[in-house]
A and B are shown apart, each in its own frame.
Chain A
Amino acid sequence: MNVIKRMVDESLSDCNLEVVLGIGFLDFRLGRTWNFAHFSTAKFAKERYPDLCMRSVVVAGIGKTAFGALADRDLRSLAVEAGEKCLENAHAKNSQVEAFYLGNFAGPSFVGQNHLAPYVAGAMGITGVPATRFEAACASSGAAFYHAVMAVAAGIHDAVLVLGVEKMTSQTTPKVAEILAGAGDSTGEVRAGATFPALFAMIARRHMYQYGTTREMLAAVAVKNHANGAKNPQAHMRKVITMEQALNGKPIADPLTVYDCSLVSDGAAAVLVTTAERAEEFTNKPIRVLGISQISDYVALETKEDITRFDAVRTAARKAYAMAGLEPQHIDFAEVHDCFTIAEIIATEDLGFVEKGMGGRYVLDGKTALNGKRPINTSGGLKAKGHPVGATGVGQICDLVMQMRGEAGERQVDRARTGLAQNLGGSGATAVVTILGVQ
């Protein structure tokens, strides 16, 4: 342990971030907690401790099902379709998968199936590897992706298949609301009658109170994301809506109406994570993971000092930017977690795209539209593309990769060299921020 400690100390004082993270991971494996917050850049440590260097990680393949209310599809068939499409996209065989990470929020409650990772992996003919389910509410597959990147970066595995899936629409709306509320604090807010729309409605109210955010600003998020979703052949709702419609939706939890809420969807998405070194075995269009961070916070909304920001997102963003050596202004486009319209507004603030409190104005002015300065949720977002919760995090990575490969069809943006994905669990108790770059 003293050797490790000395290496960490030396690394902290003068070394390459990749080495610091590598040592941090080794230290973590030895059972010590470790703070990734401090680092500087230099090359000597990389030379001194080559075995401990984090390896460059890429996304080498993507696969997605359509998102929607898919009455004739079960969880396993959706997952297998996404997984097989991903392997095909990466020209990979299932025997090359060294680990299988599954993001799923509530399969046991939605469809009555536990032990989901080997259940899905087995259906793909993948056995004899670590197969593990990650649950972090709506950030479940974001968390699975984060851990896959860590495992590949640290040299534990060379190829990890990360798959997110949720089958939601076989339950009634009140039952779905109840299952989703399981991501909140069951001994406090949920017992009092909170649903997720209600929690984000309370966040919206406070944001309106503190910053003058208006109903029109919330509605502008829905109008924009529906416009983008209409151009996405895999979106759940391919329907353009007007500002007037968005303002006059059925009330769900004031001030949020049905148009402020993301969709209850079925769907699956998968990515193959590997090293930059091995990428050419799989693809001629590898997309590099430049920065990534997963951060936790308290579950109950009432525990947050200020509910108009998500501290886990702000911390994850700061760390991901630092790891990538980038600033918010370097991000060309982003997929953010618009589970509710207010969440997209707050995401643009927490990610540093716009000053605190100005997120509403930012979207209303068209800055985040498909032809805007920084397009956000070009896929249609959770609002129009759909939100099969366990699939959302990996789905966002797929959407970034499609844009960066120039495969986004009608919704292709001109400049997509550096993209960011922000995946949120619950009312902010898990956040995953990922920055991808064209190699």
Chain B
Amino acid sequence: MSGGTIYTETLVHSAPEQFVNEAPYQLIIVTLDGGGKITGRMASNDRVVIGDHVAFDHDRNGTPYFRKS
């Protein structure tokens, strides 16, 4: 998994119990360059909109984190 294009996104203000300390965070669905879609998070405070290109940054607990590219 190298990267892809933002298919949709949201900035989550009201988080579930286990993520309350991380809010607000941007949740994204990425259309991968190799095909298919995956749900992940932005790795930093970079904010993205639909159509932006992102690159895979790291994996944490099975969730892919992306950065702007």
State the A residues within 8 Å of B (CB). Answer: 172-175, 177-178, 181, 187-195, 197-198, 201-203, 205-206, 209, 250-256, 300-303, 307
Contact = CB atoms under 8 A, between A and B. Distances in A.
B9 to A, nearest CB: 6
Given A253-B12, A253-B13, A192 B7 contact: no
Contact of A206 (B22, B50, B62): B50
B22 A193 contact: yes
- Counting chain B residues whose Cβ lies within 8 A of the other chain, the interface size class is 20 to 34
Interface string B42-69: 0000000010000000000111000000
Given A191-B62, A192-B41, A177 B17 contact: yes
A301 B9 CA distance: 12
Interface of B: 7-20, 22, 25, 27, 29, 37-41, 50, 61-63
B14 to A, nearest CB: 5
- For the complex of A and B, the 7 pairs showing the least CB-CB separation, nearest first, are A201-B10, A174-B17, A178-B16, A202-B8, A192-B63, A177-B16, A302-B37
Contacts of A193: 12, 15-16, 19, 22, 25, 27, 41, 63
Contacts of A209: 8, 50
Q: Chain B interface secondary structure, helix, strand, loop or mixed?
A: strand
Contacts of B16: 174, 177-178, 181, 190, 193, 195
Given A173-B14, A193-B16, A202 B37 contact: no
Contacts of B27: 192-194, 198, 202, 253
Q: Which of B10, B17, B41, B63 has the most chain A CB within a 10 Å cutoff? A: B10
Nearest to B50: A209
Q: Which of B14, B19, B25, B38 has the most chain A CB within a 10 Å cutoff? A: B14
Contact of B15 (A172, A177, A250): A177
